[in-house]
A and B are shown apart, each in its own frame.
Chain A
Amino acid sequence: MMTTGKSDTKIKVNGLSKVFQGRNGDVIALNNVDLEIKQNEFVCIVGPSGCGKSTLLNIIAGLEKKTSGSVLADDKEIEGPGEGRGVVFQQYALFPWKTVLKNVEFGLKLKGVDAVTRRKHAMEYLELVGLKEFAHSYPKELSGGMKQRVAIARAFAAEPEVLLMDEPFGALDAQTRAQLQEELLNIWDNKKKTCFFITHDVEEAVLLGQRVVIMSARPGRIKEVIDVDISYPRTQETKLDPRFVEIKNEIWSKVYQEYLAVKK
């Protein structure tokens, strides 16, 4: 168990396939996917719509069953949703009947943490995402960007080692998005988590990730993994870095080829 090579790997996907049985026949969503995510790594994944990104994330989260292959977290086969892996959904998925604070506390409550401790802890994360004053508001009183921040705080507050994010900033305007990207990088840096981040936006992928995984169109498989050799901390200014532009263009053209393949 203590072998140095293994303990460095957090998530290991091996020969993973997923077939959905639909009314119009079977859909191969994932075809023989291999992927390794290291401890504390930030991996982004891009690819044309419908190529199986969410399916891959859901299987890693334990929300969806695989058809074949193996998916390991800490060298153990993933059987279902687990405390070690938190998810941020695109549609926020906040509990509308709970206040912001109660939403953020929820994971800790489920773990049986006492009321005082979990409150302190949740407030800490709300402060981190700049929503301390809204602790007692209900989700309906928040804007989209604020809701997404609560969702991020909720996922982080449960202290998972791995964070899976499915286009969390997809519905946000450019400014809010830029702000949340930097906040996310800050939290990731402070708390040292392993992040798996789906996005449609190549620029976002390059800004956040240490590696960017490009998926190819149906049947979904991994086309290429590209290292982003740009040091952190990264900010919006990093986008002006020539190296950034270079990597972005490279990835973009590869994604575009996949997009053309889908159109055909």
Chain B
Amino acid sequence: MQGEVNTESVIQVQKEKQKPFWKRVDHRVMVFLSLVVGILIWALLSTIPSVNAILTNPVTIAKTFVTELSNQNLVTDIVASIYRVLGGFFLGLLVAIPFAFLMGWYDIFRSLFEPWIQFFRTIPPIALIPLVIVALGVGESAKIAVIFVATFLVMVVSIYQGVRNVDPTLIKAARVLGATDKDIFLEVVVPASFPYILVGVRLGLASAWTTLVAAELTGASKGLGNMIMEAGLYFRMDLVILGIILIGLIGFVMDKGVLWLEKKLAGWQEVSK
């Protein structure tokens, strides 16, 4: 055993030496480099006057970011957007989980709900906005309602798939150990579908975020989407770009957060493929 480990590490070292230098560089260094180069290109491009009218240079954006932060408007917008996303998302999750489990567990529920879910799933949630505005006005509840519908549909399908995919031999294995229906649900079906719930959460959050911006663009008193739209009207391109970058960043952080959660909570999964 000892010998094996040693030769292995020797082989590793040899490989390390043979690799060309760009393969030896740490992944994170490469990411950093890529960002720096990207921003440099952006800065260079923005020196061209005709481009600069639309694509403001990074330094101006950074300055705008600081001034907007200090006058509180930006913070209000970000908070408003995140509040709507999380509100709609958690409502969606709260309803999607029991729905998906009922559909996966009882055939009657599947027959009753599946056609509706499949149908509504094909409609982009943004198409519902005019309807929702008429029904609920342009306030918070309208935005949350649209996000709720969008996230619910995405998540219910994904979680339902998880419940259906539970390995039947695992259910048998639990049965012969004396599990009741309740045990099987709590000890087998729920944990087995957990990775699918996380996939649903990830898809749901992404869909919530894109739907939100669309909903805010159509009219709102605050929020990042609204900020971009208003800035566009006043031709404040620096604000528009700042808004776009912030939307991307927040979406990215949320996605990474769920991925991190998945690693923490579903690390038991066999890595296939």
Interface residues of A (CB under 8 A from B): 61-63, 80-83, 85-87, 89, 91, 93-98, 106-107, 110-111, 138-140, 154, 158
A81 touches B170 (CB 8 A): no
Which residues of B have CB within 8 Å of A140? 268-271
Distance A256 CA – B55 CA, assembled complex (angstroms): 80
Which residues of B have CB within 8 Å of A87? 172-173, 176
Q: Using known A-B contacts A96-B270, A97-B268, A138-B268, determine if residue A158 contacts B172 with beta carbons closer than 8 Å.
A: no
Distance A61 CA – B174 CA, assembled complex (angstroms): 12
25 pairs, A vs B, C-beta closer than 8 Å:
A63-B175, A80-B175, A81-B172, A81-B176, A81-B178, A85-B176, A86-B176, A87-B173, A89-B169, A93-B169, A93-B170, A93-B173, A95-B173, A95-B188, A95-B191, A96-B268, A96-B270, A97-B268, A98-B268, A110-B174, A110-B179, A110-B183, A139-B268, A140-B269, A158-B178
Main secondary structure of the interface of A (DSSP, over half): loop
With A96-B269, A97-B266, A158-B177 already in contact, 16 other A-B pairs whose C-beta atoms are closer than 8 Å: A81-B176, A82-B178, A89-B169, A94-B173, A96-B268, A96-B270, A97-B194, A97-B268, A106-B177, A107-B177, A110-B183, A140-B268, A140-B270, A140-B271, A154-B177, A158-B178
B178 touches A110 (CB 8 A): yes
Contact among A61, A80, A95, A158 for B170, CB-based, below 8 A: A95
Size bracket of the B interface = 20 to 34
Interface residues of B (CB under 8 A from A): 167, 169-170, 172-179, 183, 187-188, 191-192, 194, 266-271
Which residues of B have CB within 8 Å of A106? 174, 177, 187
Distance A96 CA – B173 CA, assembled complex (angstroms): 12
B175 touches A81 (CB 8 A): yes
- Of chain A, the residue at the smallest CB distance from B183 is A110
Which residues of B have CB within 8 Å of A96? 268-270
Contact among B172, B178, B188, B192 for A89, CB-based, below 8 A: B172
Which residues of B have CB within 8 Å of A86? 176-177
Which residues of A have CB within 8 Å of B267? 138
Residue from A81, A85, A97, A111 having most chain B Cβ neighbours under 10 A: A97
A89 touches B194 (CB 8 A): no
Distance A95 CA – B169 CA, assembled complex (angstroms): 10
Distance A81 CA – B181 CA, assembled complex (angstroms): 12
A110 touches B192 (CB 8 A): no
A91 touches B169 (CB 8 A): yes
Distance A91 CA – B175 CA, assembled complex (angstroms): 16
Distance A86 CA – B178 CA, assembled complex (angstroms): 9
Which residues of B have CB within 8 Å of A110? 174, 177-179, 183
Distance A91 CA – B270 CA, assembled complex (angstroms): 15
Contact among B176, B177, B183, B187 for A63, CB-based, below 8 A: B176
Q: List 6 A-B pairs, minimum CB-CB distance, nearest first.
A: A107-B177, A93-B173, A81-B175, A87-B176, A97-B191, A93-B169
**Minimum CB–CB distance for B43 against chain A, Å:** 47
Which residues of A have CB within 8 Å of B174? 95, 106, 110
Residue from A62, A80, A110 having most chain B Cβ neighbours under 10 A: A110
- Of chain A, the residue at the smallest CB distance from B173 is A93
Residue from A80, A85, A89, A154 having most chain B Cβ neighbours under 10 A: A89
Distance A80 CA – B173 CA, assembled complex (angstroms): 13
Which residues of A have CB within 8 Å of B170? 93, 95
**Minimum CB–CB distance for A111 against chain B, Å:** 6
Which residues of A have CB within 8 Å of B173? 87, 89, 93-95
B178 touches A111 (CB 8 A): yes
Residue from B266, B270, B271 having most chain A Cβ neighbours under 10 A: B270
Distance A205 CA – B183 CA, assembled complex (angstroms): 35
Which residues of B have CB within 8 Å of A138? 267-268
Residue from B183, B268, B269 having most chain A Cβ neighbours under 10 A: B268
Q: Using known A-B contacts A110-B183, A154-B177, determine if residue A93 contacts B172 with beta carbons closer than 8 Å.
A: yes
Which residues of B have CB within 8 Å of A154? 177
**Minimum CB–CB distance for A24 against chain B, Å:** 22
Which residues of A have CB within 8 Å of B172? 63, 81, 87, 89, 93
Residue from B172, B267, B271 having most chain A Cβ neighbours under 10 A: B172
- Of chain A, the residue at the smallest CB distance from B270 is A140
**Minimum CB–CB distance for B187 against chain A, Å:** 7
**Minimum CB–CB distance for B167 against chain A, Å:** 8
**Minimum CB–CB distance for B168 against chain A, Å:** 10
